[in-house]
Chain A
Amino acid sequence: MSNTHIIGIFDSKSDLLAGIEGAQSKNFTIDEIYTPYPVMEAIDALKRKSRFTTAAFIYGAAAVVGVLSFLYWTSVIDWPINYGGKPTNAFPSFIIITLVLTILTITILSLFTFSIRARIYPGKKYILPDERATDDKFVILFNKATAGGGFEAISKTLKASGASEVYEKEL
């Protein structure tokens, strides 16, 4: 597949959104959008979905069961201690430590999930179409081979929506 990409540069969020709308109305396939801050409308336009919160909930549920089982095992089975005749399965006093260990588990696993799913980790080789995307520009990226239109057609549509530059680049 060709590595030639068409890159549209916008100066503002409103122009970017107009550009996305224009490109999608002409059935051009957008490969990716790069923005200096999170733009929810752009994420929605590309129909990106994340199951991050569901994953976090599953980690939490597993941690609650795991921690309570561990506490039961240490306090009742492995090494029961008689504190003034109190029951060894002292459930109410397990609640706080369960809560805190659950939070610790969710934190650690969520960080790994983020790193794996968003592919953000130390030493990563990255491709950034235009370096101004982390400063002040909003960038729409099309893969020329799969965009569904040529440079001229895409350029005309993006410029009509307010793009400040449109150019081709090998990535």
Chain B
Amino acid sequence: MYKAEVRGPLILGNKDYHQITSDIIAPIDNKTPGWWKVALAISLTMASFGIFALYYTVRYGLGTWAVNNSVAWGWEIINFVWWIGIGHAGTAFSIFLLILRQKWRTSINRAAEAMTVFAVGCAAIFPAIHMGRVWLAFYIFPYPNTRGPLWVNFNSPLFWDFIAISAYLLISASFWYFGMVPDFASIRDRAKTKLKKAIYGFLAFGWTGSTKEWLRYEGLSYVLGGIAAVLVVSVHSIVSTDFASSVIPGWHSTLFPPYFVVGAIFSGFGMVMTLMIVIRKYYHLEDYVTDSHLNAIAKILVFISLIMGTAYATEVFIAWYSGNPYEMFTFFHNRITGDYSFMFWAMVTCNAIIPQLMWSKKIRSNITALFIISLIINVGMWYERFNIVVTSLSKDYLPSSWTTYSPTWVEIGIYIGTIGIFTTGVLFFFRFVPMIAISEVKSVLKPTEITEKH
């Protein structure tokens, strides 16, 4: 078989299996670092502010937000789409790279999947509170009810969205959790205290690593992987149909589904890069998350950035080519120029121009540069969602309805709160769960193996 060494070794430092277990479990065994406590305090403060803003919204109603009759979707939908987008990379990483049998996924998939679960959890908050009366959110479930035999609208993308996101959260969480079961067993069997053995023993579900278990485990991975790959594409296509099936200029476009899916994966990969650089730096896991891994993510980001640039250009071109005055107005007078032109150009710069720097090998091997670019991508993707949601709504067909929108402290508070919830989740993940899939890393040790006799 043709074999090319394009990626370099996946694990550095001539490790043996025991060393891998020790290295990856070390952050769980060691004392809690000081920076972790500071970061947790900041995260919990942010989360508390968000929870207060949520309480305020529920207590006093949606009038506490700046949304109005024209701009009915504000920061909440922007942030919903942003978080869902970030939540996409975990499954994209795990699933697509699993199906394509890319072995470099093994060091990164666990953190990416954790990120997915927390990000989708944050995203789910926004549609729920957007309903106004969040305590009636269960109305969206299709169930025989006492309000007459009235069913939910099964033809509505908003209902599809609800089901798709619920399925996505369930599948991502179970894929993540069952992936961790063998690693929990490793921690259980090395635990020195009774309490630790009991907790991780419970979490390990009685795993022993027998052939019977591994056979079914592999079966489950591939079944969940195969169907989740379809789900990754369908979830964000459905989110985009929430927009595209309307008749609002700037939204009513068949480009939206692929544009949203690619954008979601772009922001998610950006966040994966951010997290992996943090893990590598603060937990000294450079031997597992190598320069070669970051290089591979950087190359994917450059490619997706090109697609994003093409999508932005296509939208503008089609607006002109269609000859539709409303489309042309939205793109040429309310995005490229106008009240929100900063958002449009920030989007183009952050997503389509700056990532192109990663064509240079020098940049791809400079960790600080990669970290900054990954943050810029996430900021850029937020601007993209602002650009889509607010510009189209603020100036639609009737000039008498035109208005501008800027958020209130409550809306900003909820957003800050979700960032706090996300970082709190990530910090607990760093502290109590193996950040790298131990059993999977062991399975790819062989290409760089020196301890095995042949």
Contact = CB atoms under 8 A, between A and B. Distances in A.
Contacts of B167: 100-101, 103-104, 107
A70 B137 CA distance: 22
A140 to B, nearest CB: 10
Given A46-B211, A118-B213, A38 B443 contact: yes
A48 B215 contact: yes
B242 to A, nearest CB: 12
Contacts of B439: 36-38
B210 A134 contact: no
B155 A135 contact: no
Contacts of B212: 32, 48, 118-119
Interface stretch (B15-23, B304-312, B319-327, B411-419): B15-23
B166 A104 contact: yes
Interface stretch (B58-66, B94-102, B222-230, B380-388): B222-230
Contacts of A108: 170
Q: Determine which residue in A56, A83, A107, A121 has the highest number of CB atoms from chain B within 10 A of its CB, and name it.
A: A107
Interface string B165-185: 011001100100010011001
Contacts of A104: 163, 166-167, 170
Given A79-B150, A117-B216, A118-B216, A135 B18 contact: yes
Contact of A99 (B149, B209, B220, B234): B234
Interface stretch (B36-44, B45-53, B396-404, B445-453): B445-453
Contacts of B340: none
A35 B230 CA distance: 32
B247 to A, nearest CB: 14
B407 interface: no
Q: Determine which residue in B154, B443, B454 has the highest number of CB atoms from chain A within 10 A of its CB, and name it.
A: B154
A151 to B, nearest CB: 22
B163 A36 contact: no
A114 B206 contact: no
Q: How extensive is the interface on chain B, given as a class?
A: 35 or more
A136 interface: yes
Interface residues of A, number: 65
A46 B213 CA distance: 13
Interface string B192-207: 0000000000100111
A122 B202 contact: yes
Nearest to A35: B209
A121 to B, nearest CB: 6
Contacts of A33: 210-211
A120 B206 contact: yes
Q: Determine which residue in B142, B170, B215 has the highest number of CB atoms from chain A within 10 A of its CB, and name it.
A: B215
A114 B154 contact: no
Contact of A123 (B150, B202, B218): B202
A128 B454 contact: no
Interface of A: 11-15, 32-39, 42-43, 46, 48-50, 52-53, 56, 60, 71, 74-75, 78-79, 83, 90, 93-94, 96-97, 99-101, 103-104, 106-108, 110-111, 114-115, 117-128, 131-136, 162
10 residue pairs, one from A and one from B, having the closest CB atoms: A124-B206, A52-B219, A136-B17, A126-B206, A118-B216, A104-B167, A136-B18, A37-B443, A131-B189, A38-B214
